[in-house]
Amino acid sequence: MNKVLIKNGTLILPQTDRIMEADVLIENGVIVQIESGIKDVKAEIINASGCLVGPGFINLHVHFREPGEEKKEDLLSGSRAAVKGGFTSVLCMPNTQPPIDSPLLISYLLSRIREVALVNIFPAAAISLGLEGKAMTDLGLLKDAGAKALSDDGKCVKDSRLLYRIMTYSKYFHMPFILHEEDRDIAGEGQVNEGSVSVKLGYRPLPKVAEDSIMARDLVLAHSTGATVHFTHLSTAFSVKLLEWFQNQGAKVSADVTPHHLLLDDQSVIHYGSLAKVKPPLRDTSDINVLKEGIQRGIIRILASDHAPHTLEDKEGDFNQAAFGISNLEIAIPLYVKALIDDETVNWLEFWKLLSLYPAQFLGLAKKGSLAIGMDADITIIDPDTHHEVKVNEFVSKGKNCPFDGWQLRGWPVATLINGKIIMKNSKLEG
């Protein structure tokens, strides 16, 4: 029998809006008792005094690059980074090589996950075959095989008819969409936000309208078809306004933001060079303010990280040739603490809802996202006060492409339990 007892922590219960001082007893992967002063001599003890204990964080947007690009990341290195980052579940985007667009590939991925993964890794499947935007995938069969959502992440679905049809069709299977919004015709070869930086540095501009216009189309489609649609990595102020308007119309639409879009603006490219080259591009301070306001007002209900590991070769040299993306999985939580807790955009309870309860609800994970008896013992423990410096060369992720090197951050995850097993303790990976 495998028992773990978490002592003296401050428990965060997002599902009931409560914070309490108590112990948590876990037995065989399930939370069995939440009370003060639990004693159990057989249980392994975690002393969580001074720490926050809550349901494990769930990240709706990561790239673990398997199959095909294991140089950048793989399921093992990615899941180690997740554990370090306090994430107990992640959703992998399907833009691998080959793209995850068939039930067979889902089955393959799930068998690899069973073999190597340290965290719960859920696969998303492609919306269109080969991510080509031409024909829809077998979404019913994909769901039966284990796909949790549909996404052509990396690009938008350009063909309106295709998206309209598949959204209509998806209702039969209750499959949610995760959309990456960028109109390629407008974006062209755009590299950075259109504005003073693109002018000053002479990089091709990627205007906000590329994101906003296609998002507007897809909000209309979602509203009209009744599909469940999530917009990932919002970056513009206007997209938040659009989202709110359609939410008020009753559309089943939601969104997430990444930590880098909250902490860095487009000027960062001057400083960090291609390490700050990302899609969508970093925007203006005014956008950041509206994104934060959107979080505060409950319009944006999910925090994801778009963990996009690359080799340094992919990021070096010619800025225009450098890959888009930031590796951030193991520092996403302290980054969010800096972006949202430090300036009181949200409190810890709300923080935990955005990172655990709401993403669990979106993915339909009934046994996750809550700290309660009977739930899966996926638990993250955070030390809210101790500051550490970000050291990118110590990342367990293969992706060292990260502009936050040297930042002093607080709110680091110190322990991570998955299905009742301690995978990280005292900030160290077990085993």
Partner 1 sequence: MVKWQHKHLLGIDQLSGEEIGILLEKGSQYRDWLEQSPKGSKRLEGYYLINLFFEASTRTRISFEMAGKLLGMEVVNFTNELSSINKGESFRDTMLTLAQLKADALVIRHQSSGIPLYISQFLPFHIINAGDGMREHPTQALLDLLTMKRDGIDFTQNTVAIIGDILHSRVARSLCLGLKKLGSQVIFSGPPTLIPSGIEVLGGQVVYPVEEAVRYADVVYLLRIQKERQEAGFFPSVKEYNQFFALKENRKGFDRGLKKIMHPGPVNRGLEIDSSLVEAENSLIEEQVSCGLAIRMAVLETLILEG
Q: How far is the CB of 144 from partner 1 (least distance, A)?
A: 8
Among 69-77, 167-175, 187-195, 260-268, which window interacts with partner 1 (CB under 8 A)?
167-175
For partner 1, the binding residue among 161, 248, 250, 406 (CB under 8 A) is 161
Q: How far is the CB of 186 from partner 1 (least distance, A)?
A: 24
Nearer to partner 1, 76 or 163 (CB): 163
For partner 1, the binding residue among 137, 258, 361, 397 (CB under 8 A) is 137
Tokens at 158, concatenated: 């350009």
407 interacts with partner 1 by CB under 8 A: no
Q: Which residues contact 170 (CB under 8 A, 6 or more apart)?
A: 139, 150, 176, 177, 225, 227, 228
Residues noted as catalytic: 306
Q: How many residues bind partner 1 (CB under 8 A)?
A: 16
165 interacts with partner 1 by CB under 8 A: yes
For partner 1, the binding residue among 141, 186, 349, 396 (CB under 8 A) is 141
Nearer to partner 1, 172 or 344 (CB): 172
168 interacts with partner 1 by CB under 8 A: yes
For partner 1, the binding residue among 11, 53, 125, 139 (CB under 8 A) is 139
Output the CA–CA distances (angstroms, integers) from residue 179 to 3, 157, 247, 278, in the order listed.
40, 8, 16, 16
Nearer to partner 1, 134 or 387 (CB): 134
171 interacts with partner 1 by CB under 8 A: yes
172 interacts with partner 1 by CB under 8 A: yes
Spatial CA neighbour of 194 closest among 183, 204, 184, 185 = 204
- SS3 call for 330: helix
The span from the CA of 335 to the CA of 342, in Å, is 10
Among 2-10, 169-177, 257-265, 306-314, which window interacts with partner 1 (CB under 8 A)?
169-177
**Burial of 406 by CB count in 10 Å (0-12 exposed, 13-18 middle, 19+ buried)?**
exposed
Q: How far is the CB of 136 from partner 1 (least distance, A)?
A: 5
Output the CA–CA distances (angstroms, integers) from residue 7 to 33, 39, 46, 51, 378, in the order listed.
12, 9, 6, 10, 16
162 interacts with partner 1 by CB under 8 A: yes
Output the CA–CA distances (angstroms, integers) from residue 63 to 58, 173, 196, in the order listed.
14, 25, 31
136 interacts with partner 1 by CB under 8 A: yes
| DSSP-derived secondary structure for 255-301 | EEE-HHHHH--TTHHHHHGGGG--SSPP--HHHHHHHHHHHHTTSS-
Q: Which residues bind partner 1 (CB under 8 A)?
A: 135-141, 144, 161-162, 165-166, 168-169, 171-172
